[in-house]
Structure 1
Amino acid sequence: MLADYHVHCEFSDNSVYPMEDVVRDAIDLGLEEICFTDHVDYGIKVDWDSGEEIRWRNGEPFANVDYPRYFAKIEELQSKYEGQIRIRKGLELGVQTHTIPEYNRLTEKYPLDFAILSIHQVHDKEFWNGEFQQGKTQQEYNDEYYQELLQVVKNFKNYSVLGHMDLIVRYDKAGVYPFEKEKDTIAEILKTVIADGKGIEVNTSSVRYGLKDSQPGRKILKLYRELGGRIITIGSDSHRKDHLGAYIQPARDMLRELGYTEFCTFENGKPVFHPL
């Protein structure tokens, strides 16, 4: 069973990949199920119907998903391609502690099959451009990142899995910060996730970003399993055609090597287990 559970399309501010093209390409690749997980990042972006001015970046609107159009398009394609591929409704939620109320309202208004909880910013400062890391030591920004994630999972429950849990590694110009220095905090995060019946994802974009390890790293994946974690999804974090479905099979092989026997898809917010 091949599935890609982290897929972006033109409803994300950083993708222009048409949703129907994603579906057709997924069928051609032999994927049996995909979940669209376009970006919502309260704090730095606004909703289309918020009444606030929409900002633009690189010629594209810098805003959250246009929810009515997004969900209507997914439903249209579910009907059109029924019997060829399963298409699930999801979002990637870039949660911060101060934006939790907005995500609670959003997830109550729009029931989802699947929701990825990601930390893309802290205090509205982004990682990819170094704004969050600026003026801090490597220990300080790693500590702050994991503490933010811990506080979010303690206080926000309307999600399915943690996305690219150690995302800060991708943008750490100082190199890979030792896992052992954050192990206690990471363990507390994972224990909270497991107790809440949530999971984590393997994000295969680590390969295209040139990371030396998986994302999350193997030590995190091993710790999650040792603590009793079972719910795990696999996603390419695709934003264009050549990303879609990439490195899914190697990720499955890696999980088997680490002792996992199952992975998950989701339906109506509930995990569905499949053998690896």
Structure 2
Amino acid sequence: MITDGHNHTKHFSPDAGQSIEELVSEAKSKGFNRIGITEHYEIDYPEDGLNWMFDLNDYDRTFDQWHKEFSDFELLKGIEFGYQTHVAEEIDKTSMLIPFDVVLLSVHLFRGKDFYVERECYEMPAKDLHTEYISMMAEMCEKCDNFNVAAHYDYINRYTDKKDDFVTYDECPKEFDRFFEALISKEKALEINTKSIQKHREGGFSRCLPDAAILNRYREMGGKLITLGSDSHFPGTLAVSFNDAVEYLKSLGFTETVYFKDRKPYFESL
């Protein structure tokens, strides 16, 4: 079973509603041997009444307890940093404070606002919005070094109500090439986030799977590291649309994905 490398629990991610016990139970029932836990850590996130930063030493100790409690199942200790230009250096420093298996970087904010909460950005022309967002993804990978995975490059589309609003390579080829060049040169992985696929399907979007030209260009430029993550936050959402993603990657010629342990990539055949 391909590893689901992107999941959250209510113990450390303020927007999650599942316990570690529920998550592990679901993972076992679905045939997984391991999953990644990648709790949110947002430095200087806009005030919204939630605590987006946690005590890393407490997290480390808690994970030691989880490893003992679930000794028959492999839990990968991860974290998901929310990128902003002015916190790049702090992200790199913070990611080295405790030993992680995997570090994800994400862009959740657009001009200082989270798409999940503030959706005025969708009033912009889609091409302009997508171009600016992918530029931010590229900047993130250029400015940060101590990470393993660039998560959900298509987060920009997740909360739009425009059924044909879908980020494509042809909209912003220079920005995607810059993004991929940074990823590949630093040997970082590109995440296919299956929550995005599921949300598009549930919303009746005209397209659900990632733009083939994006993935083909990534591989053409030398990209080999692909991770899969469901970005689960609640019971019943682990590995959503995983089979669709696997079959789609195979149809495009990809033969393997990776997961990270002790910050090193391990390959799994599709």
TM-score, normalised via structure 1 length: 0.87
C-alpha displacement of 1:135? 6.6
C-alpha displacement of 1:121? 0.6
C-alpha displacement of 1:244? 1.0
**After superposition, where does 1:56-135 map in structure 2 within 5 Å?**
56=49, 61-82=50-71, 84-131=72-119, 133=121
Q: Contact 1:132–1:141 (CA<8 Å) still a contact in 2? A: no
After superposing on structure 2, the runs of 4+ consecutive aligned residues of structure 1 that deviate more than 4 Å are none
* 1:115 maps to amino acid: V
Residue of structure 2 in register with 1:242 after alignment? 236
Residue of structure 1 in register with 2:34 after alignment? 33
Q: Which of 164, 173, 197 is equivalent to 1:183?
A: 173
Residue of structure 2 in register with 1:272 after alignment? 266
Residue of structure 2 in register with 1:49 after alignment? none
Moved more, 120-129 or 249-258: 120-129
SS of the aligned residue for 2:13 comes to coil
1:252 aligns with 2:246: yes
Between the aligned partners of 1:118 and 1:217, the Cα distance in structure 2 is 19
Moved more, 227-236 or 243-252: 243-252
Moved more, 133-142 or 100-109: 133-142
Between the aligned partners of 1:249 and 1:135, the Cα distance in structure 2 is 33
Residue of structure 2 in register with 1:161 after alignment? 149
Between the aligned partners of 1:35 and 1:141, the Cα distance in structure 2 is 31
1:6 aligns with 2:6: yes
SS of the aligned residue for 2:253 comes to coil
When the two chains are superposed, the root-mean-square deviation of aligned CA atoms in Å is 2.0
C-alpha displacement of 1:152? 1.5
Between the aligned partners of 1:29 and 1:135, the Cα distance in structure 2 is 40
Deviations 1:184-209 (A, max 9, x none): 21011111101111111111112331
* 1:26 maps to amino acid: A
Between the aligned partners of 2:142 and 2:120, the Cα distance in structure 1 is 22
Between the aligned partners of 1:28 and 1:172, the Cα distance in structure 2 is 33
Q: 1:135 to 1:22 in 2, by over 3 A?
A: closer
Q: 1:185 to 1:241 in 2, by over 3 A?
A: same
Q: 1:94 to 1:66 in 2, by over 3 A?
A: same
For structure 1, the residue ranges without an aligned partner over 5 or more in a row are 46-53
* 1:195 maps to amino acid: S
* 2:25 maps to amino acid: R
SS of the aligned residue for 1:89 comes to strand
Residue of structure 2 in register with 1:48 after alignment? none
Between the aligned partners of 1:26 and 1:78, the Cα distance in structure 2 is 15
Between the aligned partners of 1:254 and 1:13, the Cα distance in structure 2 is 32
Aligned length: 262
Q: Contact 1:96–1:123 (CA<8 Å) still a contact in 2? A: no
1:198 aligns with 2:188: yes
Residue of structure 1 in register with 2:204 after alignment? none
For structure 2, the residue ranges without an aligned partner over 5 or more in a row are 202-206
Between the aligned partners of 1:198 and 1:219, the Cα distance in structure 2 is 20
Between the aligned partners of 1:2 and 1:76, the Cα distance in structure 2 is 25
Between the aligned partners of 1:213 and 1:246, the Cα distance in structure 2 is 13
Q: Which of 123, 128, 137 is equivalent to 1:149?
A: 137
1:219 aligns with 2:213: yes
Deviations 1:25-73 (A, max 9, x none): 212221111010111122216xxxxxxxx862xxxx3322342332222
